[in-house]
Every structure is written in structure tokens, then in C-alpha cells.
């Protein structure tokens, strides 16, 4: 549903005022004034200035002038009133909204800061919000005020702006600003303030990927490269791609893919996948495993010994995956 336009009454008021001026001018022309004198007489009458009469004050003249004063003064008063109300209410609304969001952001933790309100930023916010993540958007463009989540208007490369977005308590920062140089600087700034924050940065050109990684980005996304790879995958194995899309995003299938980090002190640590009895106790299936050094094991065998900080890639229903987290000792999502 489209929100009501707060400036509609103002436009209506000025339109009525213009109609009154036109009607008054035409009336005085019919009473014998020239076009300029008629316009002058109308403006001075409607504005209640009453500087001087430029025509002969006959009976019809007086009647028309009194009617014009009543209608014109009321129209002017209405227009001024709705204009002031719109300006004052708009500023007050923005002020209270900003204060409310500031308090809301100050209470956040483990949230995602999305820097950039372009096409990629908007899609990221939509998907993250749908997944239940808390998100704050940062952009210098006033259009960010239309964001459906808390926002900060300002330059994301400014440390004060990042502080206002709660970077010191955030878990992830997504850098999708317009320029690669801005994303590099933003990554450096974010890592300097919060070294442990997980930074995902967008690269427009391939040469920027290395610079972003050197700046500290944990992951670099090149939309052009991803788009090309997806086109090729859809050409070669369209059904596999569609299946993964459905499992990850669609929601029409019961099964999901999810990652579970094995925490230190987990009962899984030191046990093989067979001894952990994951399949029988949770119903979830471990499809892959990522070691702390970043290497992957696809379809890990039952004799693989689990250790802290390994990432289990599980598939199953939401309840099965929740049971896998509980069994692994994961205390928060």
C-alpha cells in the first residue's frame, strides 16, 4: 500500500489560490479594469493588503470585492496553514524517527551493517530480513530513508557514521558502495575499529578483488563473475541449479542446507562422525565439512574426527537442523 502524500494538501491549497486569483482577475476585467489593474486589484484584495482601489466603487464592484475577500482570505489562510503543518509535522516526524532508530540501534548486537542502498544492498537487506537477521543500512543518499529497516544517513567511510550504525557490536559488515576504492577504504576502517567483524565486500572489477582481500575482507563478491558462472551452470546443469535455489531460498521444499560451527567444548570434539551418531540422533545429514584452514571435505566419511571450529554443512528439515545445532552445543543462531 502506497503511503499518503503529505504534500497533497499543500498542492491543493496553492491550486485553489491560483483559481481564486484567476477568477478575481476575470471578474475585475468584466467590471471594466485592464488586465494588469485587475490582477493588481485581485492580489491586494486576496492578500487583505487593501493598498488602494483602482476602479470605481459601484454596487457590483463592492459586492464582488466582498465575496473575493471572503473566499480569497479563507483560501490564503488554508494554504498557509497546511503548508506550515506539513513542514512542522515532517520535521518533527523525522526528528522523532531518528531518535527512535538511534535508541534501537544502540540496543542491537550481533547485527548486520549493510553499507550501500543500491540494487545489491536492497536485495541483501530483503533476504537477510526474511531470514530473521537484524540489519542496519548506511548510505549518504536520502533515499535510504525509505529502507524498511533502521538506517543511518551518512558517509559509510566515516568512522563516526559506522559507530552510529553500531559497528562495535555488529557481527557482519557488507560493503556494497558504488566504487571499489570506497569499499577498500570502508573495509580498512571497519577492520581497524572491529578486527573480528566479518566483512563481505563487492568488487566491480577483477583487479579490485586482491586489494579488498589485502584490506581485510573475509569474502569478496564479483557480481559479473558470479553472473557468468551462473549462466554457465544453468546451461550445463539447470536442474541442479534450480534444486539448490529451491533448497536455499524458495521455501517450497521441506529440506534446507545450513552450516553449523562446532564450538569449543562441544561433545562432538574428538569423536568421529560415526561415533557422534549425527544421522540417528538428529536426522540431519552432513554433506560437507570445512576445516578451520578453509579446506573443504565433500561427503566426509564416517571415520573423520570432528574438532572445534570445523563447519558442518548439513541438510535436513528445520527441526532436524535445529537438533543438529543442539547436539553440537551451539547456543545461538
Strand partners, 290: 296, 311
Residues 115 and 220 placed together within one structural domain of the fold = yes
Q: What is the mean predicted confidence (pLDDT) over 188-202?
A: 95
Residue 315's domain is classified under what CATH number? 3.30.70.1450
The burial of 254, by beta-carbon neighbours within 10 Å (0-12 exposed, 13-18 middle, 19 or more buried), is given as exposed
The structural domain count of the chain equals 3
Residues 216 and 121 placed together within one structural domain of the fold = yes
Residues 112 and 217 placed together within one structural domain of the fold = yes
Residue 159 in any domain: the answer is yes
For the CA atoms of 281, 282, 284, 285, the dihedral, rounded to the nearest 10 degrees, stands at -20
Residue 18's domain is classified under what CATH number? 1.10.287.70
Smallest Cα–Cα separation from 123: which of 251, 223, 258, 216?
A: 223
pLDDT of 115 reads 96
Residues 167 and 244 placed together within one structural domain of the fold = no
pLDDT per residue over 242-283, tens digit each? Answer: 877 776 766 666 778 889 999 988 999 999 999 999 888 998
Q: How far is the C-alpha of 263 from the C-alpha of 186, rounded, in Å?
A: 30
pLDDT of 117 reads 94
CB 174 within 8 A of CB 217: no
Residues 185 and 89 placed together within one structural domain of the fold = no
Residues 113 and 222 placed together within one structural domain of the fold = yes
Where a domain ends, among 78, 103, 128? Answer: 103
φ, ψ at 108 (rounded to 5°)? -80, 155
Residue 197's domain is classified under what CATH number? 3.40.50.720
Residue 232 in any domain: the answer is no
Q: How far is the C-alpha of 287 from the C-alpha of 278, rounded, in Å?
A: 12
- Using CA atoms, how far residue 219 sits from 168, 216, 222, in Å, is 20, 9, 10
Q: How far is the C-alpha of 82 from the C-alpha of 35, rounded, in Å?
A: 31
Residue 203 in any domain: the answer is yes
pLDDT at 79 over 90: no
pLDDT per residue over 144-156, tens digit each? Answer: 888 899 999 999 9
Residues 87 and 127 placed together within one structural domain of the fold = no
Q: How far is the C-alpha of 44 from the C-alpha of 74, rounded, in Å?
A: 14
Residues 164 and 62 placed together within one structural domain of the fold = no
pTM of the model: 0.62
pLDDT of 186 reads 96
Residue 231 in any domain: the answer is no
Residue 3 in any domain: the answer is no
pLDDT class for 331, splitting at 50, 70, 90? confident
Residue 41 in any domain: the answer is yes
Residues 47 and 74 placed together within one structural domain of the fold = yes
Cβ-based neighbours of 27, under 8 Å, separated by 6 or more: 38, 42, 64, 68
Where a domain ends, among 52, 81, 103? Answer: 103
Residues 112 and 99 placed together within one structural domain of the fold = no
Number of neighbouring beta carbons within 10 Å of residue 265? 9
pLDDT at 210 over 60: yes
Q: How far is the C-alpha of 134 from the C-alpha of 116, rounded, in Å?
A: 16
Strand partners, 259: 313
Residues 63 and 141 placed together within one structural domain of the fold = no
Residue 233 in any domain: the answer is no
Where a domain ends, among 86, 103, 120? Answer: 103
Residue 333 in any domain: the answer is no
For the CA atoms of 291, 293, 297, 300, the dihedral, rounded to the nearest 10 degrees, stands at -30
- Using CA atoms, how far residue 251 sits from 22, 65, 74, 132, 255, in Å, is 61, 70, 58, 14, 9
Structural domain containing residue 197: 108-226
> Pairing state of beta strands 112-115 and 172-175?
parallel
Q: What is the mean predicted confidence (pLDDT) over 21-38?
A: 89
pLDDT of 249 reads 64
Residues 205 and 169 placed together within one structural domain of the fold = yes
Q: How far is the C-alpha of 110 from the C-alpha of 166, rounded, in Å?
A: 9
Amino acid at each position: 500500500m502506497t503511503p499518503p502524500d503529505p504534500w497533497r494538501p499543500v498542492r491543493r491549497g496553492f491550486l485553489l489560490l491560483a483559481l481564486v486569483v484567476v477568477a478575481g482577475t476575470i471578474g475585475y476585467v468584466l467590471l471594466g479594469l485592464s488586465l494588469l489593474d485587475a490582477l493588481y486589484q485581485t492580489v491586494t484584495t486576496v492578500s487583505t493588503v487593501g493598498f488602494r482601489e483602482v476602479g470605481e466603487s459601484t454596487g457590483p464592484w463592492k459586492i464582488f470585492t466582498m465575496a473575493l475577500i471572503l473566499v480569497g482570505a479563507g483560501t490564503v489562510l488554508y494554504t498557509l496553514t497546511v503548508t506550515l503543518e506539513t513542514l512542522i509535522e515532517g520535521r518533527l516526524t523525522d526528528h522523532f524517527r531518528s531518535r527512535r532508530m538511534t535508541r534501537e540501534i544502540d540496543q542491537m548486537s550481533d547485527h548486520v551493517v549493510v553499507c550501500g542502498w543500491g540494487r545489491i544492498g536492497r536485495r541483501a537487506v530483503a533476504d537477510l530480513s526474511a531470514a530473521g537477521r537484524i540489519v542496519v543500512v548506511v548510505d549518504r543518499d536520502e533515499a535510504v530513508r525509505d529502507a524498511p529497516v533502521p538506517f543511518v544517513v551518512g558517509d559509510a567511510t566515516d568512522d563516526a557514521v559506522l559507530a552510529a550504525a553500531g559497528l562495535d557490536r555488529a557481527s557482519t559488515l557488507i560493503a556494497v558502495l558504488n566504487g571499489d576504492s570506497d569499499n577498500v577504504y570502508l573495509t580498512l576502517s571497519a577492520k581497524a575499529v572491529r578486527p573480528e567483524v566479518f566483512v563481505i565486500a563487492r568488487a566491480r572489477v577483477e583487479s579490485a578483488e586482491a586489494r579488498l582481500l589485502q584490506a581485510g575482507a573475509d569474502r569478496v563478491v564479483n557480481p559479473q563473475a558470479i553472473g557468468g558462472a551462473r549462466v554457465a551452470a544453468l546451461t550445463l546443469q539447470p536442474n541442479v541449479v534450480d534444486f539448490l535455489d529451491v533448497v536455499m531460498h524458495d521455501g517450497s521444499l521441506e529440506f534446507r542446507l545450513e552450516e553449523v560451527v562446532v564450538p569449543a567444548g562441544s561433545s562432538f570434539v574428538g569423536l568421529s562422525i560415526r561415533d557422534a551418531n549425527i544421522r540417528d540422533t538428529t536426522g540431519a545429514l552432513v554433506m560437507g565439512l570445512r576445516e578451520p584452514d578453509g579446506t573443504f571435505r565433500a561427503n566426509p566419511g564416517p571415520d573423520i574426527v570432528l574438532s572445534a571450529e570445523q563447519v558442518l554443512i548439513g541438510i535436513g528439515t528445520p527441526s532436524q537442523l535445529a537438533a543438529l545445532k543442539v547436539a553440537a552445543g551451539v547456543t545461538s543462531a
